[in-house]
Structure formats: structure tokens, C-alpha cells
Amino acid sequence: MAVDPLQWVAKYADYLFTYAITRLNDDEQARDLVQETFLAALERIDRFEGKSSERTWLTAILKNKIIDVYRKKSSGLTGATEHLNGEEEPDFFDNVTGHWKAAHYPQVFGIEDPDRLDKKDFTRILQLCMQKLPALWLSVFTMKHMDDAPTENICTELKVTPSNFWVIIHRTKLNLRACLQKNWI
Amino acid sequence: MSQLKEIIYNCKKATSLIERKEIGRLTLRESVELKIHLAFCSVCRIFRRQSITINSMVKMLFNDAQQRQTKLDDTFKKSLQERIEDKLNKNGKKL
């Protein structure tokens, strides 16, 4: 398959921009990464083997750049000690028995059946709640759920141990779910 | 506490098993423990349903966003195009 960098902007700029912005939630940064992706691709254009499509190739370059951002954002933090942005993380469970504390019981609030959900409302609140997550948690969560990345890859790329990975996954879901319940009207 | 009682009481462990089951794998023992716990604990059953919904909604959210496509503004695209052309000329690369 041939490469034609003169067509890249017209063909892929919006696609790549969308790809970056859904994963970073930052316009400015997403733009920069699209630009860096094109420039990096030009540098190694002779290494494009045509095994994949141009778009797949460019997306792979962008993806690595996004992971770099994740890594930078969360470097020096260990998942287990990170805090929620702006709020203290509740103690959901009894210290001794591990039973839910009554105040934090999950309650039925209308999201149990995805088919009957108002997706617009749900999306809005979900995004709001995701923004409260610490950078490393959000990175782990996004890589797992958005890109279905294998757990080992996430651990290597973000430098978290497997046991820490599962702690992060667990705490992310507990907090996300609690936030949804709290903000769902 | 007896072992069974511990399994039935420990929602912290059960919810963590629920998460691991969704995106990974449980050992046979863990999977039995979770089944027992869920049989007794309606609160964790609610948690599980909501957790599964959240996972599927998150996936959908990203797919939708990608399909709708957010547009880069034209000025930026134009300058990007220029930079690419510039670089191509400078490098004199054969395409």
C-alpha cells in the first residue's frame, strides 16, 4: 500500500484528533499529539511496510504518544496512594468484616438495565465522574475499557504491578459507581 | 469467624472478584466463593449489575465519540498541511 503524506491531513486529521480527545479530554493536548504523530510518521516513512493501512499505522503512533502522556501524568504516583480529585475517597467497607457500610450500600437507581437507559444523561454524568478519578486510575481504566489492552501491557506501559493494577480497577469502579449513584437524578 | 461466614460477609473481597471476573479470570476457588457470596448478598448483586452496565456504557461512549468525530479547526489543519509539505521539501524524500 502506498503512502501519501500530502493527503494525511485531509484524510486522517479528524479521525486522529477524535481518537486523542476521547482518551485525553484535552483539546490542546490532542491537537499537539496529532501534529506530533504526523511529523513522527514523516520521519520514519521508509519504515512503513504497507502491512497495515495508513490509518492503522498512524493510529499506532498516536497511541504510543497517548501512553507517554498517561505515563507522564502518573509518574511518581503509586496507584494505591493516589487520591480522588477534590474529594476524599470514602471507606466503603467495614475494616474488620469487609461488609459494606450502610451509608455506602449500592442502591438500585435506574442504570441496572442498559437497554432502558437515557444514554445522553448517563454519558454526561459518567464523564463528570471519570474526571474525578486520579490520573493513573483513569489511564488504567481507559486503556482497559476503551482499547481492551491486555492487562500485562497496561502494567508494563504504566509501570504498575499486577496486584496494584487490580487494586486500581477495583477502587476505580467503587468510586465511579458511587459517584453515579450520587449524581443520578 | 468461620470460613463460610467470612465469605458471606466480605463484600470488599466479593466486589473485587466481580471486577476481576469481568475483565480477567478467577480461580475455581474464587469463582465458587463469589457464587456463594452473591447467593446471600443482594447488595453485591446490585453492584454487579451496575458494574457490568458501566463497563458496557463506557465502551459505547468511546465508540460513539469516535464515530461522531470531533473536527479539528481548519486553521490548524492548514498550518499542519504546510508543515508537512515543508518537511517533505526539506527532506527531499522520495515517496
Domain boundaries, chain A: 5-74, 79-183
Q: What is the ipTM of this complex?
A: 0.84
> For position A80, what pLDDT does the model report?
47
- To the nearest whole Å, the CA of B31 is away from the closest chain A CA by 16
Give yes or no for B59 touching A (CB within 8 A). Answer: yes
Residue with the larger pLDDT of the pair A85 and B30: B30
CB contact at 8 A, A158 and A133: no
Contact residues, chain A, for B90 at CB < 8 Å: none
- To the nearest whole Å, the CA of B35 is away from the closest chain A CA by 16
**Nearest C-alpha neighbor of B44 from the set A114, A177, A125:** A177
Place of cell 450520587: A182
Option in B56, B66, B95 nearest A22 (CB) = B66
CB contact at 8 A, A169 and A141: yes
Domain positions in chain B: 3-91
> Nearest 5°: phi and psi at A99?
-75, 150
Longest dimension (CA), chain B: 76
> For position A42, what pLDDT does the model report?
93
Give yes or no for A170 touching B (CB within 8 A). Answer: yes
> For position B68, what pLDDT does the model report?
85
* Residues of chain A with confidence (pLDDT) below 50: 79-80
Share of chain A above pLDDT 70, in %: 92
> For position A101, what pLDDT does the model report?
96
* CA trace torsion A76, A79, A80, A81 (10° rounding): 40
**Nearest C-alpha neighbor of A169 from the set A129, A147, A142:** A142
Instruction: Tell the CATH topology of A79-183.
Output: Arc Repressor Mutant, subunit A (1.10.10)
Does A169 contact B93 at a Cβ distance shorter than 8 Å? no
The three-class DSSP label of residue A93 is strand
Give the pLDDT confidence of B59-78 residue by residue, as tens digits.
888 888 888 888 999 999 99
Give the pLDDT confidence of A155-176 residue by residue, as tens digits.
999 989 999 999 999 999 999 9
Contact residues, chain B, for A3 at CB < 8 Å: 95
Contact residues, chain B, for A176 at CB < 8 Å: 54
Give yes or no for A57 touching B (CB within 8 A). Answer: no
CATH 1.10.1740.10, domain A5-74, yes or no: yes
Option in B10, B55, B65 nearest A97 (CB) = B10
